[in-house]
Amino acid sequence: MHTYARQPLQIVRGEGVYVFDEQGRAYLDFTSGIAVCGLGHCHPALVAAATDQLQQLWHISNIYLTAPQAELAARLTKMSGMDQVFFANSGAEANEAAIKLARRYSKQKYGAHKGEILTFAHSFHGRTIATVTATAQPKYQEGFGPLPGGFRYVEQATIQAVKEAVTEKTSAILIEPIQGEGGVRPFPTEFLHELREFCTRMGLLLIFDEVQTGAGRTGAWLAWQRLGIKPDIVTMAKSLAGGLPMGAMLAVQEVAQVFTPGTHGSTFGGNPVAARAALALMDVMSAPGFFEQVRRREQQLYGELVKLAALREDIVDVRGLGLMWGMQLKTPRAGEVVERCRELGLLVLTAGPDTLRLLPPLIVSQKDVELAVNILQAALG
C-alpha cells in the first residue's frame, strides 16, 4: 500500500557506510536505515553470527528456552542497568509492552483507577493504535479514531506543565530523552532531572523511549547513561540487532515482577537469529574505545555543522547528541536539500519539513564526516 513517500532509488547492496543502487552507484549513508544499521551495512561480525545461527535454529516458540535469547537477556539487562527484559520485534511493540507493564504495576500498587500515561508534544512512539495515541502529534492520528483513552499530553517541557497534566489516575510519564521523528529535539538535561525527581516523589513511573537513541546512538549504550537520569522502564528497538527486527522493553525488578506467565507474549520476540546479531553488536560496542571514537566523530560533526550554520543565514538551529543531529532551516526546504544530497551521493533524512536529520552509522570515519559535510554544503546551494 502507498504508505511511504519513497525516494526514487532502489538499493541493492550495502557495505559499511556505503549503499549501492542498481547501477552500482555508491551513496554515503547518513541515514543508517533511520538509526537501525548502527554498525553500518553487513558488518562482518554480525553477518557471521546471524549466518551461524541460521544454520542451527531459526525459530522455536517462547514456550522453550534458547541459549541466544537467554544470553542476550543477561547481557542486555546488565549493559542497560535494568533487571529484566521482554523481547518484542519493533519499537511500537516495545512501547506497547511498556504501557501494559506500567498500567499493571500501578494498578496493583495503587488501585484500579490508575492507568493514564502522559506523553509530550512533538513525540513519536509508534504507529499501532495505542502508540499512535501516545504520539502527541495530530497528523499521525488523523482518520484513525476512535483512539483508546488513557493518554494525556504535556505541551511544554516544564515541571509546571507536567503538574497540570497529572491526575490521580496517572501511572507513568513516557518520554524520548531526545525526540527523533519530532525534529531531533533534546530535552534540557535539567528538565529530565526534575522529571525524574517529580516521578519518584509522586509514585509515577518514568519510561524512556530509547527506540531511536538506544544502542549507542548518543555516544553511550543508552542515552540515560550519558545524561545520568535513570528511568524505571526503557524501550529499545531500531539498532538493537543492527538491522534485524528486534525490540526490547527493560525494567527494574520491582516493576518487572508484575509480568507473570500469561500476562504478555510475542510469537517472534527474542528470535534466536536476531538475538545472535544483537549479541555480536554488543560485543563490538563493548570493545574498549568504541564510544570514545563515536564521541570524537560527534565532536567533529557537531563542530562542522555549527561552522556551516555560522556561515549561512538559512540555518537557524543545530541540535542533537552523539551521532544524531538535526539542522533546522529557516524555510521548509529540507525535502529539496535531501534530494540534492542524493544526487551528489549522500543519503540524509528530514525530521519535519524544515529540519534535516543526520544519523550516520557509528563506525563513520573522519573522512566520511568531512565528505558528508562538504556535500551538504554544496546541496544547500
Ligand X SMILES: *Cc1c(COP(=O)(O)O)cnc(C)c1O
Instruction: Give the x/- contact pattern for ligand X in 300-329, rule: CB under 6 A.
Output: ------------------------------
Which residues does 249 contact at the CB level (< 8 Å), separation at least 6? 85, 86, 88, 94, 95, 97, 98, 101, 233, 234, 235, 236
Least spacing, CB of residue 367 vs ligand X, in Å:
28
What's the CA angle centered on 211, arms 141 and 116, to 5 degrees? 55
Rounded to whole angstroms, the Cα distance separating 77 from 57 reads: 24
SS3 for 166-188 is: CCCCEEEEEECCEECCCCCEECC
Chain centroid to Cα 243, Å, comes to 13
Identity of the residue, 223 or 379, whose beta carbon is nearer to ligand X in the bound complex: 223
Asked if residues 272 and 301 have their Cβ atoms less than 8 Å apart, the reply is no
Least spacing, CB of residue 21 vs ligand X, in Å:
24
Task: Read off φ and ψ for residue 310, nearest 5 degrees.
Answer: -70, -25
91 contributes a contact to ligand X by CB under 6 A: yes
The sign of the dihedral angle between the CA atoms of 62, 131, 220, 239 is: positive
Identity of the residue, 237 or 318, whose beta carbon is nearer to ligand X in the bound complex: 237
Question: Is 225 known to sit in a ligand binding site?
Answer: no
Question: Is 198 known to sit in a ligand binding site?
Answer: no
Question: Is 21 known to sit in a ligand binding site?
Answer: no
Least spacing, CB of residue 265 vs ligand X, in Å:
18
DSSP-assigned letter for residue 265: -
Question: Is 283 known to sit in a ligand binding site?
Answer: no
Identity of the residue, 68 or 183, whose beta carbon is nearer to ligand X in the bound complex: 183
Instruction: Give the x/- contact pattern for ligand X in 250-289, rule: CB under 6 A.
Output: ----------------------------------------
Q: Is 289 exposed, middle or buried (0-12, 13-18, 19+ CB in 10 A)?
A: exposed
Of residues 165-224, which lie at the interface with ligand X (CB under 6 A)? 176, 180-181, 209, 211-212
Q: Which amino acid is at 299?
A: Q
Closest chain position to ligand X (CB): 91
Rounded to whole angstroms, the Cα distance separating 122 from 181 reads: 8
Out of 92, 284, 337, 363, the residue judged to bind ligand X by CB under 6 A: 92
Identity of the residue, 127 or 152, whose beta carbon is nearer to ligand X in the bound complex: 127
Identity of the residue, 16 or 320, whose beta carbon is nearer to ligand X in the bound complex: 320
Least spacing, CB of residue 128 vs ligand X, in Å:
8
Identity of the residue, 266 or 377, whose beta carbon is nearer to ligand X in the bound complex: 266
Residue 341: closest CA among 377, 304, 305: 377
Asked if residues 63 and 219 have their Cβ atoms less than 8 Å apart, the reply is no
Query: Which part of the chain contacts ligand X (CB under 6 A), choosing from 64-72, 87-95, 281-289, 310-318?
Result: 87-95
Least spacing, CB of residue 91 vs ligand X, in Å:
2
Instruction: Give the x/- contact pattern for ligand X in 131-170, rule: CB under 6 A.
Output: ----------------------------------------
Question: Is 91 known to sit in a ligand binding site?
Answer: yes
Of residues 46-75, which lie at the interface with ligand X (CB under 6 A)? none
Which residues does 288 contact at the CB level (< 8 Å), separation at least 6? none
Least spacing, CB of residue 53 vs ligand X, in Å:
21
> What is the C-alpha end-to-end distance of the chain, expressed in Å?
35
Q: Which amino acid is at 357?
A: R
Out of 27, 86, 124, 325, the residue judged to bind ligand X by CB under 6 A: 124
Question: Is 354 known to sit in a ligand binding site?
Answer: no
Bridge partners of 153?
A: 119
Which residues does the annotation place in the binding site? 91-92, 124, 127, 209-212, 266-267
Residues in touch with ligand X (CB under 6 A): 90-92, 95, 124-126, 176, 180-181, 209, 211-212, 237-238
